[in-house]
Amino acid sequence: MLYKSLRVLARIIFAILGLKSSGIHNLPKKGPVIIAANHVSMWDPVVIGAVAPRPICFMAKAEFFQRRWMAWFFYSLNAFPVHRKAGDRTALRHAMALLEQQKVLGIFPEGGRNRSEDLKAQAGTAMIAVKTGAPILPVACVGTDWFIPFGWLHPFEVRMGEPISMEKYTGKKVTSALLDEISQEVMNEIERLLRK
């Protein structure tokens, strides 16, 4: 209920501020999907959630869940905690369970905010995709690091690319090299979207 209400409010506010979006039709209307986006601002999950026609369950850093009221708020927004400095198996299992329930999972493959042009993914996104077979939808957030409070003066946009299927990786042994290959494919596509 809170998610839907805030999404409507966010859409109105961002429309006034001039948020643009492209490629939204690339998000499958049903079935499991992993949204993988660059991360330059705390607003990234908000703007992605505002333009996406389906609810998204975002991984969020565990620090957001330390206080009871904050935990309630983020859980109400379909987010769940991940401990970023160590391999969080609980978060990985929860992410895979969400995909098994045919939901949309939101991840920032770099593991945190990065405002540089050097995009390097950690292996988690690729691991989840390989284990579940869910396609990865690359997403680029542009201008979200400086649109507040005068968004209409600084263009900001969400660009969604085409889903990256895991079919070609089916049956292959899961190795660090394979995960690196998938991760690089995803980040290359995000970089391409950023340059559009």
* Domain CATH code at residue 57: 3.40.1130.10
Instruction: Please say whether the beta carbons of 91 and 65 come within 8 A.
Output: no
Bridge partners (DSSP) listed for residue 20: 157
| H-helix segments, the chain | 2-17, 44-51, 68-76, 89-100, 124-132, 176-195
Q: Determine the 3-state secondary structure of 154 from DSSP.
A: coil
Instruction: Please say whether the beta carbons of 101 and 95 come within 8 A.
Output: no
pLDDT above 80: residue 11: yes
Which of 64-68, 134-138, 150-154 shows the lowest mean pLDDT across its residues?
Answer: 150-154
State residue 116's pLDDT score. Answer: 57
Separation between Cα atoms, residue 35 and residue 33, nearest integer Å: 6
| Element holding 100 (H helix, E strand) | helix 89-100
Separation between Cα atoms, residue 57 and residue 79, nearest integer Å: 5
Q: Determine the 3-state secondary structure of 62 from DSSP.
A: helix
pLDDT above 80: residue 1: no
Which of 69-83, 104-118, 123-137, 182-196 shows the lowest mean pLDDT across its residues?
Answer: 104-118
- Which of the pair, 78 or 145, is modelled with greater confidence? 78
What Rg do the C-alpha atoms of the chain give, in angstroms?
16
How many structural domains compose the chain? 1
DSSP per residue over 63-87, as a string? GGGSSHHHHHHHHHTT-EEE-TTS-
With both helix axes pointing from N to C terminus, report the angle between 176-195 and 124-132 in degrees, rounded to the nearest 10.
110
pTM above 0.85, yes or no: yes
Domain that holds residue 64: 2-195
Separation between Cα atoms, residue 194 and residue 33, nearest integer Å: 21
**Residue 191 has which token pair?**
């970089």
State residue 98's pLDDT score. Answer: 98
